[in-house]
Chains A and B, each alone.
Chain A
Amino acid sequence: MTIPSIVLDGVVCMAGGRAVLEIPQLNLAQGERVAVVGHNGAGKSTLLRLLTGFMAPKHGQVQVLGRQLVHPVPAETLRALRREVGQVLQGLHLVGRLSVLENVLIGALGRVPGWRGWTRCFPAGEIVRAEAALQSVGLLALAGTRADRLSGGERQKAAIARLLVQAPSLILADEPTAALDPSAAAEVCRLLVQAAAGKTLITVVHNPSLLPLLAERVIGLKQGRIAFDLPVGEVDDTTLMRLYRPEDSPQKAFWEVPSASKVLAAIGSKP
């Protein structure tokens, strides 16, 4: 908790005449692993967009990796910032037409200026790095495959390999496991945390069972405000239930829906 990675001060974001995010004060230190939870529309994605300069705050100060983002942020500053911010997104963002290796090499574009970046003639050193990254996520055998032939889990692993090549100091992951089955989700989380060693990692996540894997600190957002900011050990089902439950409605949170076995047992117990 020494060097600040992210500092938000009195931030208010508006969309459609409504405050979608209000954060009086938030500090994240370099190397922290933070999960952001909250219902749809709670401001999770807005928070991430704020940090990459895609969204301008109405009021307040946003400082990311020592850069003050004053809107309108010059395109050059934005690009420099994005080179240091790795993103893994829900939508499995890869260039489908390019091979897995070429997709991983895209992570190096920030360091490869001029014609080499245009013609995808990457220096040998970058190719070695990309292959090493693919090796570490277990995708080296698929290096020459086109990215749109991969499964969802393989695509997210390729995105993590791209992250390894990009070597950012801040990683933002927006529901990286949303489209994956439980075992692939756990594998992707493990690789993501491995890739984020020593870096700041902010993950938006819905599945509470992944929280201990991904984070040491959990921030709960509710209607654009921070509802809680706790170490992962202190976050239990009650905390999450209170967060996800709509105001004044006793509706159950989605993970409280009885499991199939319980339902079957209930049916079976009837005469």
Chain B
Amino acid sequence: MAARRLPGVSGRLGFLGLTLAYALLVAVCLGSLAQEDELSLGRNPWANLVKTAGEFARPSFLDVWFGETQLEYRSDDGRVLRIENRRQAEADYLAGLGRATWTTVRIATLGSLLGALLALPLAVLTARNLAAPKPLAWLAKGILDVTRSIHTLVFGLVLVGIVGLGSTAGILAIALHSSGTYGKLFAEAIETLDMAAVDAVRSVGAGPVQVFFNAIWPSVLPQFVSSHLYVWEFNIRDSTILGLIGAGGLGLLITESVALFQWGRLATVLIVIVALVSAFDALSRRIREALL
């Protein structure tokens, strides 16, 4: 890639200037926030931290084994209002959590695939070495920049208004936002194409379709798959937040537990998210290593 140089940012002196400008920016950010008194930590941060950490340290799912079987809810005058089996209640919650996780995985999977398919033609148009007609390349690059810069959550909010609450809005939101990322990664994969391979196949008199399938496709496919796994994993993380706007999945449970200050339940949900993302990461890393 031919890097266009910023004027005045060459050499050691230029780098020093850049560092000073950055330090100045940081100082301005800090100073102005401090002046507006926006850097306070609240009234008693330490007590709050200790209390929250204590509740987080006891994730709700432990109640499935250690919870009260006869938890009595009493009114102020001592009457027993109802008796709850905490073990049963948490087991039910876990089942719901499982269903929500499955919804999140489905949204991320379908959204990623749709995003990849949307991005593929745009990536072909923006890859510099394929030299697509200039206006088309600019248009494609514009679309990719726009979709990449609008957050999934924003897409989700707009789409919920269009297609209603539910998984469809989540899938479309994921697809639209990640198509920008996919487009960039795919275009870079195409740009690093080994032209010697293309020449090798062309030199034996192969036709354009033969060149595509024998030189270009095998060269870019592993990188495409690798990018796909990467963005897919990112989307699994991203889609856990989509429940916040009613698109279903784990995010719904997050909103619920935050609204009710049930930090123990939130801890359970977060543990599931971390486990899900790490499992997918381990799996995709193995697949990527096998491919490259």
Q: Which of A52, A92, A97 contacts B203 (CB 8 A)?
A: A52
- Whether B6 is near chain A, meaning CB under 8 Å from some CB there, is no
Task: Check if A110 sits within 8 Å of B201, measured CB to CB.
Answer: no
Segment 201-248 of B: residues with Cβ below 8 Å from A: 201-207, 209-210, 213-215, 218-219, 221-222
Q: Which of B205, B209, B214 contacts A81 (CB 8 A)?
A: B205
Neighbouring A residues of B213 by C-beta, 8 Å: 117-120
Question: Per-residue CB proximity of B54-79 to A under 8 Å, as 1/0?
Answer: 00000000000000000000000000
- Whether A80 is near chain B, meaning CB under 8 Å from some CB there, is yes
- Whether B92 is near chain A, meaning CB under 8 Å from some CB there, is no
Residue of B205, B213, B218, B222 with most chain A CB atoms under a 10 A cut-off: B205
Neighbouring A residues of B210 by C-beta, 8 Å: 109, 117-118
Do most interface residues of chain B lie in helix, strand or loop, or is the interface mixed?
helix
Give the total of A residues in contact with B, Cβ under 8 Å.
32
Contact count band on B? 20 to 34
Complex Cα spacing A97 to B198, Å: 12
Neighbouring A residues of B256 by C-beta, 8 Å: none
- Whether A94 is near chain B, meaning CB under 8 Å from some CB there, is yes
Segment 202-217 of A: residues with Cβ below 8 Å from B: none
Task: Check if A92 sits within 8 Å of B196, measured CB to CB.
Answer: yes
Task: Check if B200 sits within 8 Å of A109, measured CB to CB.
Answer: no
Q: B26 to nearest A CB, angstroms?
A: 45
Instruction: List 16 interface pairs A-B (beta carbons < 8 Å), by A numbering.
Output: A78-B205, A82-B202, A82-B205, A83-B204, A89-B203, A92-B196, A95-B214, A97-B222, A103-B200, A106-B201, A106-B214, A107-B204, A117-B213, A117-B214, A118-B210, A119-B213
Other than the given A93-B200, A96-B197, A97-B221, 13 more pairs (CB < 8 A) read: A79-B207, A89-B199, A95-B197, A95-B200, A95-B201, A97-B197, A97-B218, A106-B201, A106-B206, A117-B206, A118-B210, A118-B214, A120-B214
Residues of B at under 8 Å CB distance from A? 194, 196-197, 199-207, 209-210, 213-215, 218-219, 221-222
Q: Which are the 5 A-B pairs with shortest beta-carbon distances? A: A83-B205, A82-B205, A93-B200, A95-B197, A97-B218
